[in-house]
Amino acid sequence: MSLLKQLIEIQDNKKNIAVCSNLINNHEYTGNLKRVKKEFDMEKSKFKNNESEMSNLRNKYQMASSNLNNDKDELEKIKFELYNNAGSDLKLIDALQKKFNKKQEGIKIVDNQVLKLLEQEEKLSSEKESLKIKLSKLKNDFYTYKNTEGKKINDAREKIKKSEEAIKELEKLIPVDILEIFNKICSSKGTGAAELRDNICSGCKVKVSSMTIDNVNKQQRIVYCDNCGRIIYCNEKKNF
């Protein structure tokens, strides 16, 4: 591998490290996890409130049903007394009839309450099922996203490790003075070396001068791009 290729490979590995570091430090990942977790907690709170409402509703229903049964028993007693014990006592008949009518109206009211409670329970039960499905989906989304993104981050860490090892090995092959020049250019321009393709610098996309091409052909030790100053040729064996 030529010296220039080694320098370009170093900067490619540095670029890979930067990309992977950005992925690891990307706050969007943490933000998305927090958002899904927050939504899950909100739906979970709704689910608990639903269960609490259902419990209170059942208690009301049981109480109303018990009252309804008691009222019906009392109505039957009044009816029995009216038709069997009142005889021809008009005053008693009138009182029992009024009591019967009042109790019957009360039963209708309680009966309507029981029906409304049943309707409310059905509605809450439907909401509970919807919440249960939504909670399950949010939970799956959370862990799927966490596992998927977690794998990306682990892969990125592994790539950084390999790139750092590759850079260390490549730097051993490059003369110290050339490496210092390369790193200095990298610090100011982001990249320190570029290939020359059809007399055009791949770093700045500008055609170099004939003199620069001549220096490359003469195998000068280091040749820089006229426009951007990146290394476009370097020869380890050539001396100044």
User: Diameter of the chain by CA atoms?
Assistant: 139
Residue position matching structure tokens 């009966």: 111
Q: Under CATH, which architecture does the 3-174 domain have?
A: Orthogonal Bundle (1.10)
Adjacent-strand bridge partners of 224:
231
Domain with CATH 1.10.287.1490 in the chain: 3-174
Residue 168 tokens, joined: 């260390």
Q: In tens digits, what is the pLDDT along the chain, a chain of 240 residues?
A: 689 999 999 999 999 999 999 988 887 888 888 898 999 999 999 999 999 999 999 999 999 999 999 999 999 999 898 888 888 888 988 999 999 999 999 999 999 999 999 999 999 999 999 999 999 999 999 999 889 988 999 999 999 999 999 999 999 999 999 999 999 999 999 999 999 999 999 999 999 999 999 999 999 999 999 999 999 998 876 544
Of 196, 227, 228, the closest CA to residue 213 belongs to: 196
Residue position matching structure tokens 């959370």: 142
Q: CA 216 → CA 130, 208, 213, 227, distances in Å?
A: 72, 11, 5, 15
